[in-house]
Amino acid sequence: MEFGPHFLLATLEGALTAAVLALTAVGLSVVFGIMRVVNVAHGEFFMLGAVIAWFVSTLVGVHPAIGFALALVAAPVAVGALAIVADRLVLRRLNYDPERTIVATIGLLYCIQQLTLMTFGPDARPVVPPFNQRIALPWFEFGEQGLQVIWPWGFGITTYKLAVIAFAVIILVGLWQFLARSRFGLVMRATQLDREMAQAFGIPIDRVYGLVFGLGAGLAALGAVLIVPIRQAHYLMGHEPLLLSFIVVIIGGLGSIPGTIIAAVLIGLSDGIISVFFSPTLAKIIATLLVAFVLVFRPQGLFGLRSA
């Protein structure tokens, strides 16, 4: 394939990765920023979102678009509720101790994964996208008759992929507005800045923590619902988003939402471009190397505050 279309295709693929990654990583970042909990089970919340989307869209035997729309609401809500329960039953009892919550969320990871294996089974299952038309993209080339429009083979994207990118942007903007403008956003930011002072002002920290954990898990689930019509639901699909989310959150700065989004776009696009031109393995190697550099030269991340 010629360089121009090849590069544009890589960028579009990268944008898709970045969109879903931004949603997932912001969920992880919010949880860390406010609760100081490193949620190792985050990838499993992602996976659960995809699995629930499959159940909802299959059980509701109507038009795929309606099933999918239902899943888009039901899966994040259900996963968020589960996360709130997990917070009550597990994290709160550990007093959100940073070390012990890591171990606890590792346990949660295995519980969720194995329960999914026992119920959903080991197979990958497809979800029908609500709409999916291929759009062939044109390219311009100087030929014998001057500038010509050509339609290179393999150069295209689907409407659904474009919709995923657009939808993720809308959700992220909405989330940003929610955190910046709403009362709950204010409470969350207050809790993040100084937990004890917030408590002294009468903020119910426990309830805020529960809701934040639920919000983080719900965002991961939302990312998964968006990607599942492209990638299928599978009980092991949580590994890669977990790894990439950690990479993004570390590069962006733990707890910084703008940093997380910028890092997600950076990692998503570079992953897409490097994967297409070289290999996906090289993309992972470079991303991990970048994390190492960030940890050495700027441990708080690109946008993180020094005093964490």
Site track for another protein across 229-268, x = CB under 8 A: -xxx-x-xx--x----------------------------
H-only helix segments in 36-156: 42-59, 64-86, 98-119
126 contacts another protein (rule: CB under 8 A): yes
281 contacts another protein (rule: CB under 8 A): yes
Site track for another protein across 137-176, x = CB under 8 A: ----------------xx-x-x------------------
In whole angstroms, how close is the CB of 9 to another protein at the nearest point?
A: 6
d(CA 283, CA 275) in angstroms, rounded, equals: 6
Identify the H or E element spanning 222: helix 205-231
CA dist list (Å): 3 to 8, 11, 44, 152: 9, 12, 38, 11
d(CA 9, CA 224) in angstroms, rounded, equals: 22
121 contacts another protein (rule: CB under 8 A): yes
One-letter amino acid of 183:
R
Q: C-alpha angle with apex 49: 48 to 52, nearest 5 degrees?
A: 80
Among 123, 146, 147, 196, binds another protein (CB under 8 A): 123
Backbone angles phi, psi at 176, to 5 degrees: -60, -45
3-state secondary structure of 125: strand
In whole angstroms, how close is the CB of 256 to another protein at the nearest point?
A: 28
92 contacts another protein (rule: CB under 8 A): no
Among 69, 70, 77, 124, binds another protein (CB under 8 A): 124
Q: Which parts of this chain interact with another protein (CB under 8 A)?
A: 1, 6, 9-10, 13, 17, 117, 121-124, 126, 128, 132, 134, 136, 153-154, 156, 158, 230-232, 234, 236-237, 240, 272, 275-276, 280-281
